């Protein structure tokens, strides 16, 4: 008997009609929100296909044609041999996995790939080596991984034929999807690159994964940016994420909705990781800690943002080694996908975790630590935070990751920055010596 059958026809008729009316109102409100988000997502995707590329110098880093589908020629016996060698599991345990790491020449991708290889897993990287920031740093990371026996295929996640070939040659048990257009502020200059990589590229990868047999389990990088303009702290996975402050955040939020769709329809096992301000050696030059270091050493002034009413801007800085541990734990606890031949055979795992440090630090404190490590006084310029997609603070609640993944960050900002500065001085002094020769 349904719950409706328990309602008397009289004298409670008025109460039932009122309850039904309120239910309809709530349903209509939910339907309106869903329709709005769906329309927003369609608009984002339309940007990719309908927006004409800007008329710019083809050598400019903002040229979309240079930021995508930069796939070199691939195939042939030698190429396939390198793939199989890199994908070979070399651990004596029965728990070894074979992982495709997209964005393998990126900051997090390099560290995750190296950690997987160290423990004996099979690893193949994929990266398009775009020029959002200095490609020479990505090439240096590539050389580092190649010395460990990791082959990075130069290609784009939007290249369907390349992905099909990779999955035909190697039976991947897992995909660590880290390829994305990063950066909050750059979205104001080149919005289509975010739709191309973070939405179209993700969908393309999921289309391939849902079609292969067996389907791999997928762990992918979402972002703490999805919390947007939320004011309740610390940020929890249970919080609403419907107020993105940037296009980057909106594309990552869209990614989480897309992941839900492919999990629901095709049985793909999907785990999203919301990273909180990752820093450390081999980091990204567009991050504040990195370009602050560069400018302080050059004697240039650095701009430090203040929030409204001279408020403090703070970030939940998370050291790269802690992030890697979280990534590996997510891979190790990922359940198998349940689809076959593009059809769902049963319920599949769908998860989202915060990976942060739980200790927000004011950016002004970050600068003081860098001054001590570099032994140079910074020339500081305090300015009001512009409306460019940045948010005043981030703070992760990691209780779910602690419980489900055993995630426990151990590196404080002072220790982590000390390691970064040591790497930075070594890497760039070596670069100058090489240029002088």
Buried b (16+ CB within 10 A) or exposed e, 99-110: bbbbbbbbbbbb
Task: Say how many C-beta atoms besides its own lie within 10 A of residue 235's C-beta.
Answer: 24
Active site residues: 248
Among the listed residues 61, 394, 97, the one whose alpha carbon sits nearest the alpha carbon of residue 218: 97
């Amino acid at each position: 008997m349904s719950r409706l059958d328990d309602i008397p026809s009289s004298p409670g008729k008025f109460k039932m009609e009122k309850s039904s009316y309120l239910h309809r109102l709530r349903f209509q409100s939910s339907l309106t929100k869903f329709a709005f988000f769906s329309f927003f997502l369609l608009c984002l995707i339309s940007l990719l296909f309908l927006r004409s590329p800007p008329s710019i110098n083809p050598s400019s880093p903002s040229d979309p044609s240079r930021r995508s589908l930069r796939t070199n020629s691939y195939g042939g016996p030698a190429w396939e041999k390198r793939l199989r060698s890199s994908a070979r599991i070399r651990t004596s345990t029965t728990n070894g996995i074979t992982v495709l790491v997209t964005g393998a020449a990126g900051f997090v991708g390099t560290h995750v790939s190296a950690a997987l290889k160290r423990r004996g897993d099979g690893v193949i990287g994929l990266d398009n080596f775009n020029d959002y920031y200095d490609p020479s740093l990505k090439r240096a990371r590539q050389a580092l991984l190649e010395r460990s026996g990791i082959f990075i295929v130069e290609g784009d996640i939007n290249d369907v034929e390349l992905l099909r070939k990779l999955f035909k040659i190697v039976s991947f048990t897992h995909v660590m999807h880290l390829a994305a257009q990063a950066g909050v502020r750059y979205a104001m200059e080149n919005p289509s690159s975010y739709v191309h990589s973070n939405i179209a590229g993700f969908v393309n990868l999921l289309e391939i994964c849902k079609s292969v047999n067996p389907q791999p389990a997928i762990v992918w990088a979402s972002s703490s940016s999805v919390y947007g303009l939320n004011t309740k702290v610390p940020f929890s996975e249970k919080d609403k994420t419907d107020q993105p402050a940037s296009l980057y955040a909106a594309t990552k939020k869209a990614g989480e909705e897309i992941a839900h769709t492919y999990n629901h329809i095709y049985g793909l096992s999907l785990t999203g990781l919301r990273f909180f301000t990752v820093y450390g050696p081999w980091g990204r030059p567009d991050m504040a800690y990195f370009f602050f270091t560069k400018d302080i050493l050059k004697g240039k002034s650095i701009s430090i943002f203040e929030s409204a009413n001279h408020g403090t801007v703070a970030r939940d800085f998370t050291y790269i080694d802690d992030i890697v541990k979280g990534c590996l734990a997510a891979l190790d606890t990922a359940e198998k996908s349940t689809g076959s031949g593009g059809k769902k055979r049963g319920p599949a795992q769908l998860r989202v975790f915060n990976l942060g440090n739980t200790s927000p630090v004011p950016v002004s404190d970050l600068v003081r630590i860098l001054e001590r490590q570099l032994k140079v006084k910074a020339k500081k310029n305090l300015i009001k935070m512009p409306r460019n997609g940045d948010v005043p603070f981030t703070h992760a609640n990691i209780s779910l990751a602690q419980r489900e993944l055993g995630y426990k960050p151990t590196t404080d900002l002072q220790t982590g920055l000390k390691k970064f500065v040591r790497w930075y001085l070594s890497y760039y002094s070596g670069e100058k010596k090489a240029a002088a020769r």
